[in-house]
Structure 1
Amino acid sequence: MTAPVVTSTTPTETSVKLEWSAATGAPSDSVRYVVAGGPQPKEVEGLTATVQSLAPDTAYVFTVTAMAPGYEDEPSKPVDTRTLASAIEPVTP
């Protein structure tokens, strides 16, 4: 398989939506993708995932790895992104 390529990231204050291209040459139709870089790796079947429970205004590095029964591909190139700053200003007494 060729590794997936992350094609876009869409951050909010506490999440990042990632989209990627499909891995090619998979040994079966049951390819799943593992997104790493958030609080816990996330396993999905499609070509998008939203990683949640992230801290505002924080840099994250994500990778996507294609997996099939008995096979794991190399991860995608790392993608840097930053969550948006919180819109709520802290109140100082």
Structure 2
Amino acid sequence: RHAEYQLSQDPAFIAMRETAARFELPETKVVPLYEIDQVTREERARILNDSSLTPEEQSAQLGAVEQQRLDSIRQLVGEAAFRRLQTGVPP
């Protein structure tokens, strides 16, 4: 219950829920989508704060993280919904 309450107060979660509703995604997809975004944000921050990486290495790793994020979303919601999310055009 406490975790649900915390999520309900998180602006990023609220935005994700609104996006899911706008694109007619099942409510069951909201938490996994939110978790994908959270993990992605954390990984981006880790890469950007790693002073041992060259700018080229950072760029390559950031690109890989973004591709992994997109692949995870595609797998979670399916190809048709993924394409709608990518184009920003709800059904």
Q: Same fold (TM over 0.5)?
A: no
Scaled by the length of structure 2, what TM-score is found?
0.24
What's the TM-score, normalizing by structure 1? Answer: 0.24
